[in-house]
Structure 1
Amino acid sequence: MKDTLKEILPSLRKFAFSLTGNLHDADDLLQNTVEKLLQKPVPDDVPVLAWSFRVCRNLWIDEYRANKVRQAAVNKPELQEPVQHDAEKITASLTLRQVTDAMEELPDDHRDVLSLVAVQGMSYREASEVLSVPSGTIMSRLARARARLADVLKLTPEAFS
């Protein structure tokens, strides 16, 4: 059966794509079809290719129907649980996550300086003492860190001043 599946896989993939109209969904459908074909034997009196197409089509119909039911639930407020959103909390959470991710992209020495000066509120002199580097180095690293964050967050560097 596995050898036969290898032979018909390209045809089955094309068929899955013709049903879904999308490569990602077609690959998912193909995978589900192959799994189903490996789980249950093909009837003796049916050609493997025809049976494979039938299994694929039936899986697609099942998924299509399930999506219709999901969409109906999304579009009917009475089927949904009430959800309360606090826009400020969501915005703050997203912003914090974005800044955290952007900070993780910084080199360690830039992240250290930014944390000490911008987050902890240390002066350049205090940060220079903590990190044992000259104040000029602190200023330079801080400027590069701010520029990199602004670039990652798609902000102007002035936003960090």
Structure 2
Amino acid sequence: MWSSDADAFRPPSASEAIYDRLGLDPYNPIAQEVKGRDFDPTAYDRPASAWYDGPVAAVEVRDKRGNRGLLEHSESSVQSSGVVDATDAESLAEAVATAQRFERVVARLRDRGRQPTVDELRERVLEDVYREDHGRLFDREQPIDESAFRAAVATHAQRFLRE
């Protein structure tokens, strides 16, 4: 996270605290303070992704001077399976607002000591959906009404919390 006041990147722990105060899901720093001589990018084991099954698609590497690099993994399990086959907001919500996704979000909220509400569950699930499935959602000839989509996800969230 960039700090314009300090004209530098914030350390990972400070960035995580900022995200937590805002109620956002922080990124996952995987390894901190690894000496350059001890880091071999060719032997680096990819950690598991926090957002989908399988390893992460890429890892950002940064030194203390702000130099950055990206280790991309070409055989990443993130494969776009094309546009979600949905013709209306309800069928799109059915396709992407899955029980597994709701369970994952509820677990994150409870880990933070928060009880999930319909509104918060809807917002967090939509954040995940937009981040993970953006191309599959919006690469379509007939756009889907976003407010109707949000309402449909809220309905699914309400149903999930009742079960």
Provide the TM-score with structure 2 as the length reference. Answer: 0.23
Whose helix proportion is higher, 1 or 2?
A: 1
* Higher Rg: 1
Q: With CA pairs under 8 Å and 6+ residues apart, which has the higher RCO, 1 or 2?
A: 2
- Larger relative strand fraction: 2
- The TM-score with structure 1 as length reference comes to 0.23
